[in-house]
Every structure is written in C-alpha cells, then in structure tokens.
Amino acid sequence: MTVTTTARLVLPLLTLLASTPLTAATAASSAPATPTPAKAAATAPTGKSSKPAKPATPATPATPAKVPGIHAAWLREPPPVAYAAALYLHLDVGSNDDVLVAAESPVAAVTELHSMKSEGGLMEMRHVPTLLMPAGQRLEFAPGGYHLMLIQLKQPLKAGDKVPFTLVFAKAGRISGVAEVRALDAASSTDDPHAHHH
C-alpha cells in the first residue's frame, strides 16, 4: 500500500474520532458529587436532643390551716373557800369558721362557758352551750362578758399558780392553754362580778 493510500484511510478516521461525543464515563466525572449512603447516615439526625433534661419542679406544699390560738389567759385569785372561779382569755380564731363546744380543766369538776348580761340593772350570768367563732376574728373573754367558769374547785388557787385548761372545738379539736392566777388587788373587784362568787 502506498503512502497516498494510507493517508486517505487515516484522515477520515481522525475526522470521525473528533466528531464523536464524550462517553458516559467521561460525563460522569464532571457531574456534582453525591454523598454516599454511609456519609448520609452519619449526618442524619438521631431524633434525640443533646440538651440535658430539666429536673422536675417540686410541687409547692399546701399552706396548713391556722388553728385557734389562746393568749393572755388569767383568773383572779379566789377566796380559800370559793366554790368557783372565772377564767378570762383572748382567743384568736383560726383560718376557718369554728364552734367552741366544750371546755375543761383538771382543777375543777366542771368547766362551762358563761356569759354576763345586764337585765333590769342587774348582771345575770348564763350558761352558753356552744359559741360560734367567725374565721380570723379575735374574741375577748373578759369581765362582764364571756368567760370560762371553773365550778367545784378541787384545790385552793393562789396568786402565781398556773391553771391548765383545754378548749374543745368542732373543727380544730382540742387546744390547750395555761392561765395565771392574779392577786385580788391586781385589778378592781368591780371589774370581775365573780370575785366573790361562792
């Protein structure tokens, strides 16, 4: 074969190669990168928060109800042969309405709630079976009004003695107190209608 013939065969072949489009492998090398499945799994959210959980807030305890309070309890020193004595005090009612239903003291056979009321110019004493007490109020058991009557005293009471007693309430239950025995001249006997009660 002559050189002229070879040239005639080679030139068309070069022209054909120059006009052929890129192959699939060549095109793939120029496309954007796609993450592999393993890499995608590594970047996928796990569904769990990285923040630590906040501790639960403790519940606030309920405020307990305020019970009745006894203050400044006292009684006048009775004569040695006295049959009874009147006991006075200040009573702070609790946070709920209540009813005073009874009273007792170890120094007397009977302890009752009494009231004093003026009738026809005379002071009359009455037994009060129960006493309603509105919530949040302060009641004064004082000479000329409500008081506890200690009846059938079991022992002589002298100035400076401490007399225990208990008030019984419908809701609050039993509340105890201590009354101080005061001397006869601690206040005018006219302030206490029971100063010479026999």
Q: What is the CATH number of the domain that holds 73?
A: 2.60.40.1890
Beta bridge mates, 138: 92
Does the pLDDT value for residue 28 go beyond 70?
A: no
- 127: three-class secondary structure by DSSP: strand
Beta bridge mates, 126: 115
What would the mean pLDDT of 150-158 be, rounded to a whole number?
Answer: 95
Of 17-21, 109-113, 133-137, 193-197, the range with the highest mean pLDDT is 109-113
127 domain-assigned: yes
Q: Residue 26: how many CB atoms within 10 A of its CB? A: 9
Does the pLDDT value for residue 89 go beyond 60?
A: yes
| CA–CA separation, 181 and 159 (whole Å) | 5
Does the pLDDT value for residue 173 go beyond 90?
A: yes
Token output for 9: 């065969």
What would the mean pLDDT of 48-63 be, rounded to a whole number?
Answer: 58
Domain of 145?
69-191
Angle at 99 between CA 95 and CA 104, to 5 degrees: 115
Is residue 42 very low, low, confident or very high in pLDDT (cuts 50, 70, 90)? Answer: very low
What would the mean pLDDT of 64-70 be, rounded to a whole number?
Answer: 80
What would the mean pLDDT of 18-46 be, rounded to a whole number?
Answer: 48
Is residue 80 very low, low, confident or very high in pLDDT (cuts 50, 70, 90)? Answer: confident
106 domain-assigned: yes
Count how many domains the chain has.
Answer: 1
What would the mean pLDDT of 130-137 be, rounded to a whole number?
Answer: 93
Does the pLDDT value for residue 77 go beyond 60?
A: yes
What would the mean pLDDT of 70-85 be, rounded to a whole number?
Answer: 94
Does the pLDDT value for residue 45 go beyond 90?
A: no
30 domain-assigned: no
151 domain-assigned: yes
CA 92 to the chain's CA centroid: 19
Question: Across the chain, what does the average pLDDT equal?
Answer: 77
Token output for 157: 């009471």
Token output for 21: 């489009």
197 domain-assigned: no
The pLDDT score that the predictor gives to residue 190 is 42
Residue 56's Cβ-count burial label (10 Å; 0-12, 13-18, 19+) is: exposed
More confident call, 51 vs 110: 110
- 44: three-class secondary structure by DSSP: coil
166 domain-assigned: yes
CA 124 to the chain's CA centroid: 44
What would the mean pLDDT of 5-24 be, rounded to a whole number?
Answer: 50
CB 74 within 8 A of CB 180: yes
Longest dimension (CA), the chain: 167
Does the pLDDT value for residue 140 go beyond 90?
A: yes
Tokens 């190669």, residue located: 17
32 domain-assigned: no
| CA–CA separation, 89 and 33 (whole Å) | 94
Beta strand ranges found along 34-97 (DSSP E): 69-76, 84-92
7 domain-assigned: no
More confident call, 41 vs 9: 9
| CA–CA separation, 5 and 55 (whole Å) | 93
